[in-house]
């Protein structure tokens, strides 16, 4: 599904450069639910951005679903993002002047689907996150958890191969966080591959595998016993 | 691309981003609105003035020149300088026969007339004229008729008087036709009253038959001046030169003598006024388009700010799979749409201004602004300019929007 080998990335800072990723190797198979952990500055967000084709890497190899991701034009990158990836952000990143349904339908718009098909699919995914009744509400009229569920519906709408979540619970309280995690686990049970960046241990424990980063290298990569969010105590 | 333009979502996006901040949208559009309004208003007003000018001149042969005799400034063939030059009737005929491009030559004679009617009197200018004058300088007769060939042949003592004289010498609503007035102690019968039009060329107050004038004032075949009109396709300046040269030849005057004949070239004057009006139109276009460009730049600047504000949103869209082209296209469409809407408002309000101008200054026969209007072609041209400028200016924020990497855009707070 996803294969990364000897990945390096550095950012120029003034005259010198900051070496953020110092040779990352890992593989993610279909149906996995992986947590990438690490303190701030460990390079976990950079890694996620590279996997999400939002950022470029300096050296190494990265293949996604059998496609080598290297030196893509912006247009190609956009197409791959649309086709392969669903993004969930810490701050939801819903478009504030579009209602929930329109937000969910947005990736479908960029896929070039007809209006009717988009509406239908978007409704289906909104229903899946339990927010069909809120379809015509603006993000400002939704709670944090609801917003994140809309964002998840949006990430799912394009039916991506890989769901990528950058601190999906970072802006939510624990109860809501667990609800979101419960939902992500459900999706994973249905076979969706999910990658979550987090620095919260309890969130990481709800995944099936945890990769710990420190100073740009993988410290630990282990399979864990998944804690079901539905049974977790707040 | 066409499919994109007819796609409901495209416009939904445009409307969304415009209504999101109404104040900004309105302020943005004011620049373009004002530019188009100025363009339409000024062009219409300029056209109105031109129409008014043309209407005043419409009854007048504008391709004409007046020539009169003065005195020589150079000795020639035994004559000393300072010789009086007097035009003769024969000169007119010779000019008509020999100068190329002549339409009419109208000899005229002028004098002062002390006019008395009952207890009222006044001094007015008096000319002896041929019926032909009515052709080259159409008289707007309020009453009666102009001089005809019969008057000439029979040397009748008849007069066509201006409206001003009628008002000064006659009672209100009094019938002037057939009445007698004394001009320099000689009775003339009034046969017509004409209206004085502004810009109508040299004006006189009283016209009497040419032959009557010659006889009464003992002029023989001397004429005061002549009006020469050229055919439309001939250059009146050339005709003036040719006619003067011919006259110098006849009157034995040095060909280089500049003072011997005086002249007033109406065609030349007319050309200058027309040129002035053309210049004004050019100026109008210049000012209008310059203002338009300023307005379009304002739109560009506002869109640039909008794009900056929407950096994150654009980043999200790109993460969701929007290609840079799609982002750019949307912003350009927004720019064009804004300019077009503002432009349409400008055209409409410009039209109102022209309607207001027309009702304020455009009524009646002596209106300064006649039928102030712009042609549909101009309106379409203005819209075309707007579309072109709008798309060009839209490209700046469009490229700005996609120059940020999506990752940086997403990080933007």
Encode pLDDT of B78-128 as tens digits: 888 888 888 888 888 888 888 888 888 888 888 888 888 888 888 888 888
Q: How far apart are CA B231 and CA B247, in angstroms?
A: 20
Regarding whether B248 and B298 lie in a shared domain, the answer is no
Kindly determine whether residue A95 and residue B322, on different chains, have CB atoms separated by under 8 Å: no
Kindly determine whether residue B321 and residue A97, on different chains, have CB atoms separated by under 8 Å: no
Residue at B267 is within a domain: no
CATH number of A31-42+73-223: 3.40.50.300
CA A121 to chain centre: 20
Kindly determine whether residue A75 and residue B325, on different chains, have CB atoms separated by under 8 Å: yes
pLDDT attached to residue B413: 60
Kindly determine whether residue A81 and residue B321, on different chains, have CB atoms separated by under 8 Å: yes
Regarding whether B212 and B292 lie in a shared domain, the answer is no
Q: How far apart are CA A37 and CA A53, in angstroms?
A: 20
Q: Reply yes or no on whether the pLDDT at B199 is more than 60.
A: no
- Break chain A into its structural domains and give their ranges: 31-42+73-223
Q: Does B167 touch chain A (CB under 8 A)?
A: no
Nearest CA to A151 out of A79, A91, A221, A82 is that of A91
CB pairs under 8 A between A and B: 63
Measured between CA atoms, the residue of chain A closest to residue B406 is: A54
pLDDT attached to residue B228: 87
Regarding whether B202 and B279 lie in a shared domain, the answer is no
Minimal CA separation from B344 to chain A, in Å:
27
Residue at B265 is within a domain: no
DSSP secondary structure letters along B208-262: EEHHHHHHHTT-TTEESEEEEEE-TTS-HHHHHHHHHHHHHHHTT--TT-SSSEE
Regarding whether B32 and B132 lie in a shared domain, the answer is no
Measured between CA atoms, the residue of chain A closest to residue B13 is: A98
Beta-ladder partners of B141: B194
Regarding whether B239 and B219 lie in a shared domain, the answer is no
For residue B16, which residues of chain A lie inside 8 Å, CB to CB? 97-98
Domains in chain B, number:
3
Minimal CA separation from B403 to chain A, in Å:
10
Q: Please state the rounded mean pLDDT for residues B361-380.
A: 78
Regarding whether B176 and B299 lie in a shared domain, the answer is no
pLDDT attached to residue A155: 92
Q: How far apart are CA B342 and CA B298, in angstroms?
A: 12
Calculate helix-pair angle for B236-250, B89-98, nearest 10 degrees. Answer: 130
Q: Please state the rounded mean pLDDT for residues B60-88.
A: 83
Regarding whether B139 and B87 lie in a shared domain, the answer is no
Q: Which of A208-222, B46-60, B163-177 has the lowest mean pLDDT?
A: B46-60
Regarding whether B225 and B201 lie in a shared domain, the answer is yes
Regarding whether B352 and B209 lie in a shared domain, the answer is no
Residue at B178 is within a domain: yes
Regarding whether B224 and B97 lie in a shared domain, the answer is no
Nearest CA to A88 out of A173, A194, A178 is that of A194
Beta-ladder partners of B71: B84
Regarding whether B216 and B151 lie in a shared domain, the answer is yes
Partner-chain residue, chosen from B312, B325, B407, that has the shortest CB–CB distance to A54: B407
Residue at B155 is within a domain: yes
Residue at B403 is within a domain: yes
Confidence of residue B412 (pLDDT cuts 50, 70, 90): low
Higher pLDDT, B81 or A10: A10
Residue at B224 is within a domain: yes
Q: Does B312 touch chain A (CB under 8 A)?
A: yes
pLDDT attached to residue A122: 93
Regarding whether B402 and B303 lie in a shared domain, the answer is yes
Q: Does B322 touch chain A (CB under 8 A)?
A: yes
Digit-coded pLDDT (tens) for B292-327: 888 888 888 888 888 888 888 888 888 888 888 888
Residue at B201 is within a domain: yes
Residue span of the structural domain in which B326 resides:
2-57+272-411
For residue A82, which residues of chain B lie inside 8 Å, CB to CB? 320-321
């Amino acid at each position: 599904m996803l294969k990364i080998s000897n990945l390096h990335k550095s950012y120029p800072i003034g005259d010198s450069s900051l070496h953020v990723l110092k040779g990352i190797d890992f593989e993610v198979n279909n149906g996995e639910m992986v947590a990438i952990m690490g303190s701030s500055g460990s390079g976990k967000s950079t890694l996620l951005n590279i996997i999400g084709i939002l950022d470029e890497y300096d050296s190494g190899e990265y293949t996604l679903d059998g496609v080598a991701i290297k030196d893509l034009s912006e247009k190609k990158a956009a197409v791959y993002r649309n086709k392969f990836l669903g993004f969930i952000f810490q701050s939801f990143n819903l478009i504030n002047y579009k209602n929930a349904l329109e937000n969910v339908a947005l990736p479908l718009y960029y896929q070039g689907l007809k209006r009717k098909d988009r509406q239908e699919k978007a409704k289906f995914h909104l229903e899946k996150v339990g927010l069909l009744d809120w379809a015509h509400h603006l993000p400002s009229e939704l709670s944090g958890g609801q917003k994140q569920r809309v964002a998840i519906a949006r990430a799912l709408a394009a039916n991506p191969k890989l769901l990528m979540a950058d601190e999906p619970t970072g802006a939510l309280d624990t109860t809501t966080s667990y609800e979101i995690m419960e939902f992500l686990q459900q999706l994973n049970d249905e076979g969706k591959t999910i990658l979550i960046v987090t620095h919260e241990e309890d969130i990481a424990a709800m995944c099936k595998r945890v990769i710990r980063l420190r100073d740009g290298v993988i410290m630990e990569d282990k399979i864990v016993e998944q804690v079901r969010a539905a049974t977790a105590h707040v | 691309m066409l499919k994109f333009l007819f796609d409901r979502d495209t416009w939904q996006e445009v409307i969304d981003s415009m209504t999101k901040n109404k104040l900004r949208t309105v302020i943005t559009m004011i620049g373009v609105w004002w530019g188009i309004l100025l363009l339409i208003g000024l062009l219409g007003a300029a056209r109105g003035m031109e129409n008014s000018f043309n209407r005043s001149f419409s009854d007048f042969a504008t391709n004409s020149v007046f020539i009169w005799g003065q005195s020589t400034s150079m000795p020639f063939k035994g004559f000393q300088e300072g010789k009086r030059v007097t035009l003769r009737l024969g000169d007119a005929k010779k000019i008509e026969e020999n100068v190329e491009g002549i339409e009419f030559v109208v000899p005229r004679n002028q004098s002062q007339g002390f006019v008395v009617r009952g207890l009222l009197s006044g001094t007015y200018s008096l000319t002896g004229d041929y019926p032909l004058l009515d052709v080259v300088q159409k008289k707007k007769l309020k009453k009666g008729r102009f001089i005809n060939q019969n008057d000439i042949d029979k040397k009748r003592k008849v007069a066509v008087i201006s409206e001003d004289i009628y008002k000064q010498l006659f009672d209100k609503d009094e019938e002037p036709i057939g009445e007698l007035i004394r001009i320099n102690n000689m009775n003339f019968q009034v046969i017509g009253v004409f209206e004085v039009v502004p810009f109508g060329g040299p004006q006189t107050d009283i016209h009497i038959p040419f032959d009557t004038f010659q006889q009464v004032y003992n002029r023989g075949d001397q004429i005061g001046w002549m009006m020469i009109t050229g055919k439309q396709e001939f250059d009146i300046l050339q005709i003036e030169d040719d006619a003067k040269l011919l006259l110098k030849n006849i009157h034995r005057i040095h060909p280089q003598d500049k003072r011997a004949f005086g002249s007033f070239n109406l065609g030349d004057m007319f050309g200058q006024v027309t040129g002035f009006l053309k210049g004004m139109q050019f100026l109008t276009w210049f000012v209008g388009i310059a203002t338009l460009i300023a307005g379009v730049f304002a739109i560009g600047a506002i869109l640039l700010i909008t794009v900056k504000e929407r950096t994150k949103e654009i980043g999200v869209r790109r993460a969701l799979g929007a290609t840079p082209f799609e982002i750019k296209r949307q912003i350009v469409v927004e720019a064009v749409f804004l300019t077009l809407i503002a432009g349409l408002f400008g055209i409409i309000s410009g039209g109102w201004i022209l309607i207001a101008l027309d009702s304020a200054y455009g009524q009646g026969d002596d209106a300064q602004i006649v039928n102030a209007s712009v042609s549909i072609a101009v309106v379409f041209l203005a819209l075309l300019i707007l579309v072109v400028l709008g798309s060009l200016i839209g490209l700046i924020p469009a490229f700005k929007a996609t120059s940020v990497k999506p990752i940086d855009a997403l990080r933007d707070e």
